[in-house]
């Protein structure tokens, strides 16, 4: 009997990042979490599609380009190359690198706006209020702290009044709320869902979807004096990409990954726009918190910024990928420091995994042990169901904790067996058990540290095991 296995489509997106500057720790973490989850789905046999990219329009980009003495298109072209190279250097395997200045995206965004207008969901009005150019967003009183945006400099907020077009967001929010409540849109983790549901109890103001004075953007099809509000067309990229790259069967997205600052846009505005367009909604939205440094927000003026380059320079690509998992702001914001990263690297990688691999490979090299493994990722997951759950729910911190336990238990077993005192079959048995555990651990870590996992498997799955070089060099302070 032929068993039919249904291959699942898995489409994951990161936000498309504002390309006005180099990637910071927040971009790094979101993109690495995303890459790990997509690699996990690829390993379990899903048909995957992974999108990241850049958001290239808006006032902030135009101003940065001007300061650099460049026209906006040249500026974003250069930035796009820089970001793409960057993700490649971190072993991020995105299938699509989306750019909103792509003429094909512009056309699809315009078509969607026309569809929304024809549905009767767009009207003309006057917007008055405080606008933050950092967020490219009008801010309500309740979002401001001492009159300024909590995420940006005070000089980035100003009063504005302009005629533009509005989307009837309030028409759709009751349905969006219901869909979030009953899980049709699975917003996780629960705390982030609670925040959105509570905000949906407030009065909802409609969303202005065009800008009068922003020229660097996509022209509104029916009024050439306006451009589409950068956030609205940026959200549309997740859908337009599937059409542009001939991946239409991947819509709706399986999950959108984002930081908490973008929650409202992805969990309320985006579903409302899709409902108006009569398109299917994303199945899941995963919102993570932010990093801070010992409880204080990272900022250039405080001089406490930890940059991706600091981490990669010190810990290497796989070390950095692992440290991102070990610090994942899954439930709340996560407090880190340079010292914290050093300690986790030393404890988990240099002393933990690295030491285990080198001591076992050294002892095995003294015997004539050969080892075969079928290296089946799915079989290992079936054995460690809480690790599988961690990957399925994007709780990478829980995966790291389980791996720590496995490493500790393997080391303890070795200390108890004392294979260095044993001889012959007894010694071989103890080492083979340790090797099996190491191979399980490296399989589990394949999505997290792909190169390291491969090195470990290559070292042990061979005719004659030889002593490995240290995988992670211990840092001395
Ligand atoms: Zn802001």
Q: Domain limits of the chain? A: 9-289, 299-460
> How far, in Å, from the CA of 152 to the mean position of ligand 1?
5
Catalytic one of 6, 85, 300, 372: 300
What spacing in Å lies between the alpha carbon of 130 and ligand 1's midpoint? 10
**What's the gap in Å between 229 CA and the centre of ligand 1?**
15
**Identified catalytic residue from 24, 260, 402, 413:** 24
Strand partners, 130: 139, 159
Q: Report helix, strand and coil shares of the chain as percent, to nearest 5.
A: 50, 15, 30
CA of 141 from ligand 1 middle (Å) equals 13
Indicate the CATH number of 299-460 among 3.30.70.1150, 1.10.1840.10, 3.40.190.10, 1.10.730.10. 1.10.730.10
Active-site annotation holder among 132, 193, 288, 427: 132
Is the per-residue pLDDT at 2 higher than 80?
no
pLDDT in tens, 293-316: 988 888 777 888 899 999 999 999
Question: Could you tell me the distance, in angstroms and rounded to a whole number, from the CA of residue 148 to the centre of ligand 1?
Answer: 8
Closest CA to 206 of 140, 287, 263: 140
pTM of the model: 0.94
CB 246: neighbour CB atoms within 10 A?
7
Q: How confident is the model at residue 371 (pLDDT cuts 50, 70, 90)?
A: confident
In the block, tokens 């058990």 appear at 433
pLDDT value of position 1: 55
Q: What was the pLDDT predicted at 370?
A: 74
Q: Report how far ligand 1's centroid is from the alpha carbon of 264 (Å).
A: 14
Confidence of residue 52 (pLDDT cuts 50, 70, 90): very high
Is 325 designated active site?
no
pLDDT (average), residues 116-129: 94
Determine the pLDDT at residue 302.
81
The pLDDT of residue 213 is above 90: no
For residue 36, report the distance from its CA to the centre of ligand 1, in Å.
Answer: 29
Distance, in Å, from the CA atom of 254 to the CA atom of 36, rounded to the nearest integer, reads 15
Q: Which of 117, 149, 177, 371 is catalytic?
A: 149
Task: Work out the end-to-end distance of the chain between its first and last CA atoms, rounded to an integer number of angstroms.
Answer: 62
> What is residue 235's three-state secondary structure?
helix
Predicted confidence (pLDDT) at residue 163 exceeds the cutoff of 80: yes
Catalytic site residue 297? yes
Tell the CATH superfamily of the 9-289 domain. Answer: HUPs (3.40.50.620)
Rounded distance from Cα 157 to ligand 1 centre (Å): 7
User: Would residue 27 show up in a list of annotated catalytic residues for this protein?
Assistant: yes
Q: pLDDT by residue (tens digit) across 167-180?
A: 999 999 999 999 99
User: What is the model's pLDDT at position 133?
Assistant: 86
How far is residue 415 from each of residues 6, 430, 444, 469, measured CA to CA in Å? 45, 11, 23, 22
Among residues 107, 115, 119, 152, which one is catalytic?
152
Active-site residue, selected from the candidate residues 57, 105, 106, 135: 135
Cα of 58 vs centre of ligand 1, distance in Å, is: 14
Distance CA 239, CA 251 (A): 7
pLDDT bin (cut points 50, 70, 90) of residue 3 is low
Return d(Cα 14, Cα 21) in angstroms, integer.
17
Q: Catalytic: which of 128, 194, 297, 383?
A: 297
| CA 48 to ligand 1 centroid distance, Å | 34
Q: Is 132 a catalytic residue?
A: yes
What's the pLDDT tens digit per position in 248-272?
999 999 999 999 999 999 999 999 9
């Amino acid at each position: 009997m032929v068993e039919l296995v249904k291959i699942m489509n898995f489409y994951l997106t990161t936000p498309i990042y504002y390309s006005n500057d180099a990637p910071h720790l927040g971009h790094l973490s979101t993109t690495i979490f995303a890459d790990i989850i997509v690699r996990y789905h690829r390993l379990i046999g899903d048909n995957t599609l992974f999108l990241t990219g850049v958001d290239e329009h808006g006032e902030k980009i135009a101003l940065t380009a001007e300061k650099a003495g460049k026209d906006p298109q040249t500026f974003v072209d250069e930035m796009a190359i820089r970001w793409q190279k960057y993700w490649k250097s971190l072993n991020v395997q995105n299938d699509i690198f989306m750019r909103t200045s792509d003429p094909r995206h512009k056309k699809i965004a315009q078509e969607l706006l026309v569809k929304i207008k024809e549905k009767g969901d767009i009207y003309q009005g006057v917007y008055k209020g405080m606008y933050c150019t950092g967020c490219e967003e009008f801010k309500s009183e309740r979002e401001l702290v001492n009159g300024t945006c909590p995420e940006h400099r005070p000089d980035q907020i100003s009063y504005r009044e302009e005629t533009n077009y509005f989307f009837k967001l309030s028409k759709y929010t009751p349905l969006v709320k219901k869909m979030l409540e009953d899980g049709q849109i699975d917003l996780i983790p629960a705390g982030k869902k609670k925040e959105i549901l509570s905000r949906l109890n407030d009065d909802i103001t409609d969303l202005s979807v065009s800008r009068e004075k922003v020229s660097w953007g996509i022209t509104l099809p029916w009024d050439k004096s306006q451009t589409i509000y950068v956030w609205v067309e940026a959200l549309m990229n997740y859908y337009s990409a599937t059409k542009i790259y001939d991946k239409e069967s991947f819509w709706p997205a399986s999950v959108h990954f984002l930081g908490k600052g973008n929650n409202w846009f992805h969990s309320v505005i985006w579903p409302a726009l899709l409902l108006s367009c009569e398109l299917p909604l994303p199945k899941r939205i995963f919102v993570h918190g932010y990093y801070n440094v010992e409880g204080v927000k990272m900022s250039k003026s405080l001089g406490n910024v930890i940059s991706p380059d600091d981490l990669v320079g010190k810990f290497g690509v796989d070390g950095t990928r692992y440290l991102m998992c070990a610090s994942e702001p899954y439930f709340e914001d996560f407090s880190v420091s340079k010292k914290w990263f050093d300690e986790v690297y030393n404890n988990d990688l240099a002393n933990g995994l690295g030491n285990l691999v080198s001591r076992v490979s050294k002892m095995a090299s003294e015997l004539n042990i050969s080892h075969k493994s079928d290296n089946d990722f799915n079989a290992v997951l079936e054995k460690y169901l809480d690790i599988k759950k961690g990957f399925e729910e994007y709780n990478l911190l829980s995966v790291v904790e389980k791996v720590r336990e496995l490493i500790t238990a393997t080391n303890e077993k070795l200390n108890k067996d004392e294979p260095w005192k044993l001889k012959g079959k007894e010694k071989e048995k103890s080492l083979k058990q340790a090797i099996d555990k190491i191979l399980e651990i490296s399989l589990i870590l394949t999505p997290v540290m792909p190169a390291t996992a491969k090195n470990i498997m290559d070292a042990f799955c061979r005719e004659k095991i030889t002593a490995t070089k240290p995988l992670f060099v211990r840092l001395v302070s």
